[in-house]
Structure 1
């Protein structure tokens, strides 16, 4: 296991939040432990996107170019697993998130999202497969975003298991199709919820709505690349990229409209207003926002014991700012923000995972990507 420079210690000095909490003032918070230790666990990878720990401590990782690998606890990078379906690996598309099935111990089943080529273009899809040594077997598609379009942008997509065993999938608006985020006859700019076998839960909000796709859970989203279940409230939280500002964290609830592109705190690239402003009746406000954008990606609620002060805090990765953001909470409200790592590593962070050891693992979306381990000093 390689150390990042001789046992490099990184200061946890916080910087002020770039955006005030919606409706309140955000406070600066600081980690009292002073320093953390950062180790490079693995390297020699490319544009990492998702990561999941296997029960034996090995790491299952996805590379956007269309490769899935197993990385051993000592950092040895395995060969690409055989058996993946056809993947559209261009632009923001490729092999995306990966999670273990809740019954993985017996089923050996994993679920993964990817950009799927097909008639009319491409779209985000989700399949499951049985992990069998160095290959995937019994690959079965359980969801495909409709309609497919010719685009290389805004695929989403995070996979999150709900406490009831259903699967949440976050889906982008595909960039050129942003207005469709406000209509229910498509999957663009939506969170969808399915059963593990791909069927539609009977209590989804639009199951009985004429003309609506029954998988839809919520709508009015732009490009969600982060999602997690709050361990205390059991509610789904999602994070999405804003356009040149206006990155959002939302508590994502059934049947609600989160506003895009009618309301937003961002603006067009190069300047210019989008939609009708920042508020509109019947559309949800974010729990938290960043203006200017930090390019939010994956996040978790930390539940381990190695960083006691971080218990039930949000740890969120940033691509643009190359930082790990810690957010403190009081119920459903964000009360403070701290920037960790703050560009010292020079890497765009895509995903963060809590390991079975209670430590924090962060992966980078770079042509020479790495997996980092964070531990208290």
Structure 2
């Protein structure tokens, strides 16, 4: 806002959205406190894809070059049939006119460490192992009680605490819970093959999509999307065998990658869930960001991008508006349709994978939305 806020901003959640927002707010001169329930403040060790719009948001908080240096930029997705027969090479929409690559694979811990270190260096005050217990709006601040018994007063409380957001439960009790889409995602990290210099995808039978994505000069990750009727529990000890079974029909570079399959501790399986909170994303002095507001599936690789865009748009809205209410309204207006487009398109692609329809073209939909997202958030 044009005038200073009368108390610090509280961010609940120390993931991508929360850390990026903390950095953006500190760059604008705001006082920021962040609480994170995970006392280890770590993330699971697989890779993610930063699309060009994510890199643009990272540039706005001064981290694009560091992320590109830590990751593996690429511009093409190579698509194959299940047996390895080439189908198409798809050039990804880019922002080369802004000096940014089309995509950058990066290890999730590497991105987390860059954001964490930048937030701490910027002066974000962090407390670990706690979260909010209660939030009460007062005339000039939000009174917050924490799970360790402490209290504080804040101008704004941002729920950036993920798809199971406790802040959302407290302030948006009517929001629908996350919905299982029918698919699961398997991932593990392995040494990068010299042949994998871009995303390499294999479209398989039984609604399965396997891929290899480079995340550094030395590493890549294998991913598999599979239909998982009934959302079954995957026992940790059985993860390698379950994944081998789902990959057995794939050719190309997948068999060689399977030779590097780690033990259960190195395989990450997540059921795919989605969530979209109706706008506006604020109630009083409480506002949602990232997966707390709009969790998407990975079919468009836009989850991190949307979280990073939330951060820079919310910080910008707080800086430009004449009042807190108008700032939070502006944030929702700028973000809702864009995030809804990503969530709905991602769900549609997953549905087409599980239940093919005549004329459906998932790759065309991916490109259509990706081109739309090249416009500034």
Common fold, TM-score beyond 0.5? Answer: no
Relative contact order higher in (CA < 8 Å, ≥ 6 apart): 2
Compare the two structures and name the one with the higher helix fraction: 2
TM-score, normalization: structure 2?
A: 0.29
Compare the two structures and name the one with the higher strand fraction: 1
Over alpha carbons, which structure has the higher Rg? Answer: 2
